[in-house]
Structure 1
Amino acid sequence: MLRPRIIPSLLLHDKGLVKTVNFKAPKYVGDPINAVRIFNEKQVDELAFFDIDATTLNREPDYVLIEKLANQSRMPLCYGGGVKTVEQAQKIFGLGIEKIALSSAVIQNPELVTQIADRVGSQSVIVVLDIKKKLFGGYEVYTHNGKKATGINPIKFAQELEQLGAGEIIINSIDQDGVMKGYDLNLIDKIAEVISIPLTVLGGAGSMRDVEKVIERHGVIGVAAGSLFVFKGPYKAVLINYPTLTEKNRVFKIHLK
């Protein structure tokens, strides 16, 4: 039986792990290899790494680091950042990554989704939509770490991506990123209504209750978080953490009600 997934989302910057607020002011939170080892012990459902330098600096993915992460991981691993071609994607899959996350490249070339899905299967092709509220209502997709507006409506684009062969959509709220005051439930509702492929949501989790609210509304869904799993306490001390098996089982029961 399918169940919700609770996914730590980790940002790579200058070969270290950072956490941002509204996609700005990256704060160093640790070593990525060490983080993988800790999450292994905590029996994480899935782990996602996003290189926030690759696209902005117009460079290739860091294959050496990706291989090290894959070799250490005992859980499904998703990687995103700088992937622009089928060949790059295949190389990353060859290093042991289970899912490729595409973002900016898909805005420029939506057919890339189909091209990679045809080679490796839709289940391994994820598209990340970084989304920001518009001043007078509605939402818009942004790229380049939230700096470049695209004019694209994320609800309509999510439908197109499913038709192109995407196996999963990750919606990442720029407005909620690192704020730890809850997910944008309205945005999640709008996109969940129009797609039938798996949906993962990111941006805003400050407690497990925020995770529960999403699962209560949508059942089988991926709920990703960054700050929730790297900070602890009111002063945001850096401490990698994850729900215990008992806590996860309690949350997973919600979608069965």
Structure 2
Amino acid sequence: MRNTRIIARLDIKSQKLIKGIQLEGLRIIGDPSFYAEKYYREGIDELIFMDSVASLYGRNNLLEIVKETAKNIFVPLTVGGGIRSLDDANNLFRAGADKVAINTAAIQRPELITEISNKFGKQAIVLSIEAKINKSKNIWEAFIENGREPTGLNAIEWALKGVKLGAGEILLTSIDREGTRRGFDIDLIKSVTDLVPIPVIASGGMGKIDHFLDLMRVASPEGIAIADCFHYSRIKISEIRKEILNNGIKTREVVDL
């Protein structure tokens, strides 16, 4: 059994850390570099930076933030938003990213997953899936453009196809639960973790530690990506790690948090 990873997710707009509910109503939190360093000092396992408006500009705008972060923070860094080519990915890797996450471009041109996987290794490519329940079709539908545009794709089937194309990891965000603090969409996450042989990072909905424990009793994601609880200091990283260990779930042990 691998260690369960505790991951801080930082959504960024115009160089500011922001947070919304169901990927809408974005509010400014502050300086992303400050929060990234704070989470690193507190013992975070990984960081995810997502450019929330990259599609408006057609490119990722986080290069400078990534460069500064990589100077002083030594945990894996995933960067997503607006990555549409090998050159875009290469620029982020050169700036200090360990992995790139793609969503919109992957659906519009699925072979990009394979190109990045072949060039930089499967471990470097994360398929970001933003899923929302479609009651009329009785599916979780994949969305693009930071949750603004439906695709008609079944998110579960898309996850499996992403694996076949070369994705090394899946970042699975429930739009319905994101920012609500009502708990994870356990059925969605279990549907993906039961199907794919690669790590799945669950994102969206955590409001208290019990939500994570409830998820782990049913599904088996390799990590949880948390934003709201960390940004608003609702839960400490050390508290989550302690409860994980107390419940017999493997995670990295950090001294002097």
Letter in 1 for 2:86: V
TM-score by length of 1: 0.91
Gaps of 5+ in 2: 252-257
Distance across 1 between alignment mates of 2:151 and 2:220? 31
Aligned 1:1-257 pairs, distance under 5 A = 2-136=2-136, 137-219=138-220, 221-232=222-233, 241-244=236-239, 245-251=241-247, 253-254=248-249
Letter in 2 for 1:38: K
Q: What is the CA deviation profile of residues 176-213 of structure 1, one whole-angstrom value per residue up to 9, with x for unaligned ones?
A: 01000100011111111211111111000001111112
Q: What is the CA deviation profile of residues 101-126 of structure 1, one whole-angstrom value per residue up to 9, with x for unaligned ones?
A: 11100011101011001111101100
Residue pair 2:102, 2:126 contacting (<8 A) in 1 also: yes
Distance across 2 between alignment mates of 1:51 and 1:158? 22
Work out the percentage of aligned pairs sharing the same amino acid. Answer: 29
Residue pair 1:117, 1:165 contacting (<8 A) in 2 also: yes
Distance across 2 between alignment mates of 1:48 and 1:170? 10
Q: What is the CA deviation profile of residues 122-181 of structure 1, one whole-angstrom value per residue up to 9, with x for unaligned ones?
A: 011001101111032211011112111101111111111101110001110111010001
TM-score by length of 2: 0.91
Aligned to 1:237: none
Distance across 2 between alignment mates of 1:8 and 1:149? 26
**1:84 Cα shift?**
0.5
Aligned residues: 249
**1:16 Cα shift?**
0.7
Distance across 1 between alignment mates of 2:191 and 2:57? 33
**1:229 Cα shift?**
1.1
Letter in 2 for 1:87: D
Q: What is the CA deviation profile of residues 68-94 of structure 1, one whole-angstrom value per residue up to 9, with x for unaligned ones?
A: 122232211111011100111112111
Distance across 2 between alignment mates of 1:60 and 1:254? 36
**1:231 Cα shift?**
1.5
Residue pair 2:60, 2:80 contacting (<8 A) in 1 also: no
Letter in 1 for 2:245: N
